[in-house]
């Protein structure tokens, strides 16, 4: 057992292993000051809720309070390890400013009330709107941080009970493109790869995926491979000098918004050099000829010119990928939140498809998620898609879902694609959505172009319900605020990036009158009198386990089949990967083995969309193209971003995360070790740009776009010249402004453009034209962490390096008994 500062050492101590070996166990623990493991009354099983990796852990409980966490050694995902956000973030649960009573707006102010009064307001307004306008007046906007049972209930209430098409999650901002890219290439959502592919891969290519900060434990696994015998080669595509870029064999730092050109350049080389598996292409795919034709137009020299990277680097990266024997490709926000998001992510799928590298150890694709339960938002129907990957344009699927819910198929809105959140905001703006119920997310900070978002949410004519654990910026604008329980205070399941399902058990009671989200949704359904066609209650479950059983039935026979999983089976050992059913009682490590896909026209989740226009593909067209349900190779031409640099705004702004904070910091900003590590907003620019604009490290600068401005202290980092970076975590709840700027802007989304990918509808946070000016000199380095992609480019005083406060010391235990596969 060793003590280690996990703020200064975010990935902890190396435990090297070789190709095909077992990743050694390392158990990470952090307990409150003065508490020893012997003091703990009980350990309660759960998994991480502050990122998408799904690291299994136990909550330490003493005197009915959460006093710490410990990684679960037996779990397949993390083999005992935890990331900094897990080690320290649990403290936010006990924050004194948790919401403990419902609030309603009276005379312009939010005042405390009881549940009956608050729910009556919500129900009365819902009923009045349904009578006056119908379901088109009501929208639901949820999150990627509730549990599967809760999403399934919400989806059933919204789609089957209220009958509205306006349902989405904030997964639209983080993982919509992952889902869409998988649907386009494989006809269905579902992660092809498994984390164990890291154990086998000889090349790992990370596209816009700063895994070191977004999924620290997955990066730890990669670091341990890199430290062991026969390490994999790393290809990194990122305009910032991330920890991944530093470890890469080839680092490509393209101009923001040019990912499709880059991918087409790489594919050009792979195809021109014949590094493809013709047999696999013939047997298991459709559309290859189109790809060949398209990428012919992108020789490396041309791609290099568009992307602003050396042509030799494109060729070198393509050669490494082309010679890989076991290729793992991963993708995240650098692609998903950028120009041509889906088209670019699909080209990554194409690389693995044409090389025949799917469904075998080390050969996988990880289209990543940003949030812990995003996969459940997608599969349970809370992102607007229909439950269990049913196809909204396949009448047989609608009929089948209506059978499960025992309602008339006409009651399920399926006349057009679901309304994504950016469109919902537009409908709220034009006054046709008149009630918006936001659960577990904070659009007043996280959506693009905040001045516009605030002006929409502030409207008198919009009835805004916010269900949250803190009085977020969005909650401050609400008409009704419902206090919710969170992780550790309620029970449910959730599923990570690689389809691993974990059980998260209740450890302590929620504070005050706060209630589990599941209870709130069920209460609403009953108060609304939502019924099936026999006059029985639509929601027939009453607690997490009965909700899970209902969800299992809904998933039966679908790709995300949960029927073989029970709460009992999830207790104790390791998480389980779906599909888990009679044929696969222990779950399924890799899908798509042997070139078998879920793309058959009668079975697939979608017929896809045009990658450029976003227009849905007609069912008959899909059937003609892909009658046997093979993998679909879709090509795309490069289309420039809608907002390009100009004389007034000569730079490009990208936004993103830091390792130490999550989303709008509702939890991480209330954990002292994490908040101290990244206390305030900063802006990154290159040394060249700093010289050109006469700006020094630590100076206060103003960043402007046509939509607004933000003031931040400058970090001169290894970012590409011509590009600015702002972290998006910093809003206004801990400032005098409350929900909006009081003076200078702080939230990155004051600056971002209202524009989204036509296929996935994911907003484009990473291609705004911007300028920067120096405001005043600083009194020291900027508050940006030095351990991560925001590390300084040049020399830096030792005392200014990111280190933990005294309570940041955590325990590491290596050499304990084996982890599960």
Restricted to residues 641-660, the positions that interact with other proteins (CB under 8 A) are: 642
Q: Which of 274, 460, 534, 613 binds other proteins (CB under 8 A)?
A: 613
Q: Compare residues 542 and 642 and give the one whose CB is closer to other proteins.
A: 642
Burial of 599 (0-12, 13-18, 19+ CB in 10 A): buried
Give the three-class secondary structure for 163: coil
25-33, 58-66, 324-332, 409-417 -> range binding other proteins (CB under 8 A):
409-417
Q: Which of 29, 45, 136, 171 binds other proteins (CB under 8 A)?
A: 136
Smallest distance, other proteins to C-beta of residue 462, A: 11
Cα separation, 185 vs 353, whole angstroms? 9
Q: Which residues contact 442 (CB under 8 A, 6 or more apart)?
A: 468, 472, 473, 474, 663, 664, 666, 731
For residue 426, state whether it binds other proteins (rule: CB under 8 A).
yes
For residue 778, state whether it binds other proteins (rule: CB under 8 A).
no
Smallest distance, other proteins to C-beta of residue 228, A: 47
What backbone torsions phi and psi does residue 184 show, to the nearest 5 degrees? -65, -40
Give, in order, the Cα–Cα distances in Å from 335 to each of 262, 304, 340, 345, 581. 11, 18, 8, 6, 34
Smallest distance, other proteins to C-beta of residue 615, A: 4
Q: Which of 230, 432, 546, 620 binds other proteins (CB under 8 A)?
A: 432
For residue 625, state whether it binds other proteins (rule: CB under 8 A).
no
Q: Compare residues 395 and 509 and give the one whose CB is closer to other proteins.
A: 395
Please state the separation of Cα 757 from the chain's center in Å.
Answer: 16
Q: Kindly state the DSSP code that residue 22 receives in the 8-state scheme.
A: P
Q: Which of 592, 756, 766, 783 binds other proteins (CB under 8 A)?
A: 756
Restricted to residues 152-171, the positions that interact with other proteins (CB under 8 A) are: 165
Interface pattern 367-406 for other proteins (x via CB under 8 A): ----------------------------------------
Q: Compare residues 127 and 642 and give the one whose CB is closer to other proteins.
A: 642
Q: Which of 409, 614, 650, 706 binds other proteins (CB under 8 A)?
A: 614
For residue 134, state whether it binds other proteins (rule: CB under 8 A).
yes
For residue 633, state whether it binds other proteins (rule: CB under 8 A).
no
Q: Compare residues 26 and 159 and give the one whose CB is closer to other proteins.
A: 159
129-137, 253-261, 436-444, 521-529 -> range binding other proteins (CB under 8 A):
129-137
105-113, 134-142, 363-371, 808-816 -> range binding other proteins (CB under 8 A):
134-142
Give, in order, the Cα–Cα distances in Å from 81 to each of 194, 209, 216. 17, 20, 10
Q: Compare residues 59 and 758 and give the one whose CB is closer to other proteins.
A: 758
Smallest distance, other proteins to C-beta of residue 200, A: 41
* 699 DSSP β-pair partners: none
Q: Which residues contact 124 (CB under 8 A, 6 or more apart)?
A: none
Query: Token pair for residue 30?
Result: 């952090």
Q: Compare residues 135 and 629 and give the one whose CB is closer to other proteins.
A: 135
50-58, 275-283, 424-432, 735-743 -> range binding other proteins (CB under 8 A):
424-432
For residue 416, state whether it binds other proteins (rule: CB under 8 A).
yes
Written in H, E and C, the secondary structure of 373-434 is CHHHHHHCCCCCCEHHHECCCCHHHHHHHHHHHCCCHHHCCCCCCCCCHHHHHHHHHHCCCC
Cα separation, 34 vs 41, whole angstroms? 15
Give the side-chain half-sphere CA count within 13 A for 613. 4
User: How many residues in the shown chain lie near other proteins by CB under 8 A?
Assistant: 30
**C-beta separation of 516 from 498 below 8 A:** no
Q: Which of 299, 409, 417, 706 binds other proteins (CB under 8 A)?
A: 417
Cα separation, 541 vs 233, whole angstroms? 50
**C-beta separation of 763 from 448 below 8 A:** yes
Other beta carbons less than 10 A from residue 501's beta carbon: 25
- Interface contacts to other proteins, rule CB under 8 A: 133-134, 136-137, 165, 415-417, 419, 422-423, 426-427, 429-432, 610, 612-616, 618, 639, 642, 754-756, 758
């Amino acid at each position: 057992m060793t003590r280690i500062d996990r703020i200064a050492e975010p990935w902890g101590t190396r435990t090297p292993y070789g190709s095909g070996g077992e990743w050694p166990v390392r158990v990470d623990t952090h307990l409150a000051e003065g508490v020893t493991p012997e003091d703990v009354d009980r350990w309660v099983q759960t998994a991480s809720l502050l990122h998408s990796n799904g690291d299994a852990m136990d909550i330490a409980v003493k005197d009915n309070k959460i006093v710490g966490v410990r990684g679960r050694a037996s779990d397949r995902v993390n083999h005992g390890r935890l990331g900094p956000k897990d080690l320290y973030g649990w403290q936010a649960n006990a924050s004194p400013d948790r919401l403990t009573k419902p609030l309603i707006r009276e005379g312009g102010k939010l005042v405390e009330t009881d549940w009956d009064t608050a729910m009556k307001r919500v129900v009365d307004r819902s009923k009045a709107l349904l009578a006056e306008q119908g379901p088109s007046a009501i929208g639901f906007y949820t999150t990627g941080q509730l549990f599967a049972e809760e999403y399934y209930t919400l989806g059933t209430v919204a789609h089957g009970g209220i009958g509205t098409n306006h349902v989405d999650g904030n997964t639209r901002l983080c993982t919509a493109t992952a889902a869409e890219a998988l649907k386009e290439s494989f006809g269905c959502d579902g992660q092809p790869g498994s984390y164990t592919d890291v154990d086998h891969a000889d090349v790992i290519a990370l596209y816009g995926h700063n895994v070191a900060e977004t999924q620290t434990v997955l990066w730890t696994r990669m670091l341990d491979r890199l430290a062991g015998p026969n390490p994999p080669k790393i290809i990194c595509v990122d305009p910032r000098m991330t920890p991944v870029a530093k470890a890469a064999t080839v680092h490509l730092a393209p101009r923001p918004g040019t990912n499709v050109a880059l991918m087409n350049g790489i594919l050009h080389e792979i195809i021109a050099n014949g590094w493809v598996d013709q047999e696999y292409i013939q047997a298991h795919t459709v559309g290859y000829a189109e790809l060949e034709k398209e990428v012919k137009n992108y020789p490396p020299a041309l791609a290099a010119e568009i992307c602003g990277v050396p042509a030799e680097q494109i060729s070198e990266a393509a050669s490494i990928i082309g010679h890989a024997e076991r290729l793992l490709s991963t993708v995240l926000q650098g692609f998903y939140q950028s120009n041509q998001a889906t088209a670019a992510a699909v080209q990554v799928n194409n690389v693995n498809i044409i090389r025949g590298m799917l469904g075998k150890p080390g050969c996988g694709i990880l289209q990543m998620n940003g949030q812990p339960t995003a996969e459940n938002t997608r599969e349970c129907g809370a992102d607007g898609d229909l439950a269990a990957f049913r196809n909204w344009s396949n009448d047989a699927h609608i009929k089948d879902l209506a059978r499960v819910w025992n309602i008339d198929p006409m009651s399920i809105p399926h006349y057009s694609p679901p309304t994504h959140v950016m469109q919902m905001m537009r409908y709220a703006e034009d006054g046709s959505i008149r009630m918006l119920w936001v659960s577990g997310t904070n659009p007043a900070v996280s959506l693009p172009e905040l001045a516009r978002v605030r002006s929409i949410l502030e409207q008198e004519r919009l009835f805004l319900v916010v269900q949250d654990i803190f009085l977020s910026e969005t909650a401050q604008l609400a008409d009704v605020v419902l206090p919710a329980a969170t992780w550790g205070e309620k029970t449910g399941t959730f599923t990570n990036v690689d389809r691993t399902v974990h059980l998260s058990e209740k450890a302590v009671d929620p504070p005050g009158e706060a209630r589990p989200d599941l209870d709130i949704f069920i209460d609403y359904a009953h108060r609304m009198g939502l019924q099936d066609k026999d006059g029985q209650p639509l929601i027939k479950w009453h607690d997490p386990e009965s909700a899970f059983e209902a969800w299992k039935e809904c998933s039966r026979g679908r790709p995300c089949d949960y029927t073989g999983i029970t709460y009992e089976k999830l207790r104790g050992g390791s998480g389980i990967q779906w599909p888990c059913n009679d044929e696969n009682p222990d779950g399924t490590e890799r899908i798509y083995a042997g070139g078998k896909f879920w793309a058959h026209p009668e079975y697939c989740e979608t017929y896809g969309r045009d990658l450029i226009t976003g227009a849905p593909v007609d069912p008959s067209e899909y059937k003609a193209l892909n009658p046997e349900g093979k993998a679909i190779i879709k090509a795309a031409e490069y289309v420039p971003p809608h907002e390009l640099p100009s004389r007034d705004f000569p730079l490009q702004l990208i936004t993103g995360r830091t390792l130490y904070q999550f989303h709008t910091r509702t939890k991480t900003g209330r954990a002292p070790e994490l908040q101290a590590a990244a206390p305030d907003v900063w802006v990154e620019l290159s040394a060249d740009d700093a010289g050109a604009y006469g700006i020094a490290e630590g100076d206060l600068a103003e960043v402007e776009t046509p939509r607004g401005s933000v003031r931040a202290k400058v970090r001169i980092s290894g970012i590409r010249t011509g590009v600015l970076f702002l972290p998006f975590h910093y809003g206004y709840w801990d400032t005098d402004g409350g929900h909006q700027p009081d003076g200078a802007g702080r939230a990155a989304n004051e600056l971002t453009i209202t524009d989204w990918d036509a296929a996935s509808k994911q907003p484009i946070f990473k291609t705004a034209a911007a300028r920067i000016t120096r405001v005043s000199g600083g009194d020291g380095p900027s508050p940006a962490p030095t351990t991560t992609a925001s590390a300084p480019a040049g020399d830096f005083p030792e005392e200014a390096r990111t280190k933990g406060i005294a309570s940041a010391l955590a325990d590491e235990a290596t050499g304990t008994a084996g982890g599960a596969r």
